[in-house]
Amino acid sequence: MKEKILKLIDSYEDIAIELETGLCKIPAISPDSDGYGEIDKCEFLESWLKAKGFGALERFDAPDERAKGKVRPNLIASINGADKTKPCFWIMSHIDIVPPGELSLWKNDPYKAYVYSGEDGKKRISGRGVEDNQQGLASSVLAAIALKQLGITPPRPVKLLFVSDEENGSGYGVDWLLKNRPHLFSPGESALIPDSGDAQGTAIEVAEKNIIWARFVTKGLQVHGSRPDLGKNAHLAGAELALRLHEGLTKKFSDKDNLFDLEYSTFEPTKKEANVPNINTIPGEDIFCMDMRFLPRYPVATVLAEIDRIISEVKTKYGVTIEYSTPQSMESKPTSPDAPLIKALSENIETVYGVKGKPVGIGGGTVAAYLRNVGIDAAVWCRITHTAHQPNECALLENILGDAKVMALMMLRES
């Protein structure tokens, strides 16, 4: 049976190009990035899936007054399992894309899929979104088509989830679904998110660092540059705060974990907002931001408590007020490298690609965190060339088909 599936998927190149081409024609850009949202692309995908025999389709629309149709759609295609009591296996991809950027850097229209052979002789398809995340989307669909065509019923229910808003925080995508349609998900289920990996197909992301993005506002007293004794230098206090947070948090939360690509936690000052426009004025307000990514063993609350302690000391030293907000604050529970999902994925990667999968942790955040936090084991994996967000984004056809084979085998797993 496995051999039939793999051989059949080898014949799906034209279907892959058809789906990628149709999706590529339709921009699905968030209103946060001056787009109209995902409704047109979702409706195309819905119609395309129906034409291919997918009957069990459900849409869950998150309200958004800014978007076309005033909604951000999320689509589920369900495949019945032989045992409905077994936990569901999800494959989740996203339908939104990022803007194409500077058009002069593109060799072709970014919204017209272009198929070509590279210098290595491998066939590629180019266009905005073809890799991020239409490669994973197409692979999941091809896997399901193969099972349907061969009349195979998977052991457990399988659901393909196509979400909105991944590129801008998932507030209208998986995060919205978990908060507003929680009945769709159950602890003990498992999920594959084909949205990151490496060129060999070995990297299986099972853990993410916890994240805090923080914006610090220091307020003192503005005075002439010649009389610092009459004021309270907000910039000086803010500068010391940035340095003390960087050094103090790095020292306090100093554990290392070689599961991660960068094995230690990072606490980095990043954006600096303008204060006074001239050199000879001591600023009464100063604003800077930090990007903090720390090992999952350190709870967000623990890091915030240390931030508060350091702030208190700086406030006392300089006589200023300091407030801060957290535009993003996220904890992510890891998936065990020994989880059945990870073991099965490793085995199927080796079957298809002849390489061994390796569990890894990353510093960036993905939608997997939302699922892990509600008790769903999640793996982020695909074989990918990493051209996402770049001009001339492209996907290898052999990766689309190869990943579809891995996904089809994952749909057949018993445990």
As a three-state string, the secondary structure of the chain is CHHHHHHHHHCCHHHHHHHHHHHHCCCCECHHHCCCCCHHHHHHHHHHHHHCCCCCEEEEEEECCCCHHHEEEEEEEEECCCCCCCCCEEEEEECCECCCCCHHHCCCCCCCCEEEECCCCCEEEECCCCCCCHHHHHHHHHHHHHHHHCCCCCCCCEEEEEECCHHHCCCCCHHHHHHHCHHHCCCCCEEEECCCCECCCCEEEEEECEEEEEEEEEECECEECCCHHHCECHHHHHHHHHHHHHHHHHHHCCCECCCECCCECEEEEEEECCCCCCCCEECCEEEEEEEEEECCCCCHHHHHHHHHHHHHHHHHHHCCEEEEEEEEEECCCCCCCCCHHHHHHHHHHHHHHCCCCEEEEECCCCCHHHHHCCCCEEEECCECCCCCCCCCCEEEHHHHHHHHHHHHHHHCCCC
Q: Do residues 313 and 366 share a domain? A: no
Q: Are residues 392 and 253 in the same domain?
A: no
The arithmetic mean of pLDDT across residues 17-25, rounded, is: 98
Residue 216 and residue 252 in one domain: yes
Which CATH number characterizes residue 336's domain?
3.40.630.10
Q: Are residues 88 and 159 in the same domain?
A: yes
Q: Tens of pLDDT along 87-128?
A: 999 999 999 999 999 999 999 999 999 999 988 999 999 999
Residue 365 confidence (pLDDT): 79
Q: Is 122 in the same domain as 234? A: no
Residues 187, 49 share a domain: yes
Q: Cβ–Cβ contacts within 10 Å for residue 371, how many?
A: 25
- Domain check: are 168 and 228 in the same one? no
Residue 55 pLDDT more than 90? no
The 10s digit of each residue's pLDDT in 122-154 is 999 999 999 999 999 999 999 999 999 999 999
* 33 and 64 belong to one structural domain: yes
pLDDT at 366: 86
pLDDT at residue 303 is higher than 90: yes
- Which of 38, 64, 166, 205 is catalytic? The answer is 166
Residues 50 and 165 in one domain: yes
HEC string of 52-69 equals: CCCCCEEEEEEECCCCHH
96 belongs to the catalytic site? yes
Backbone dihedral angles phi then psi of residue 92, each to the nearest 5 degrees = -115, 125
pLDDT reported for residue 278? 97
- Give yes or no: residues 302 and 367 share one domain: no
Give yes or no for residue 22 having a pLDDT over 80: yes
pLDDT given at position 139 = 98
The pLDDT assigned to 1 comes to 82
- 45-73: average pLDDT: 97
Domain count, the chain: 2
Structural domain span for residue 316: 210-330
Residue 261 has pLDDT above 90, yes or no: no
Judgement on whether residues 190 and 260 belong to the same structural domain of the protein:
no
261 and 175 within one domain:
no
Beta bridge partners of 191: 90, 378
Statement: residue 204 has pLDDT above 80: yes
Whether the pLDDT of residue 415 is over 80: the answer is no
* CA distances to 54, 92, 105, 154, 224 from 58, in Å: 11, 14, 38, 20, 64
Q: Which of 272, 296, 330 is the last residue of a domain?
A: 330
Known catalytic membership, residue 377: no
pLDDT at 382 over 90: yes
Catalytic residue (choose from 96, 175, 208, 331): 96
Tokens of 197: 């990996």
Looking at residue 300, which CATH number applies to its domain?
3.30.70.360
Mean predicted confidence (pLDDT) in 289-318: 97
What mean pLDDT is predicted for residues 344-368?
94
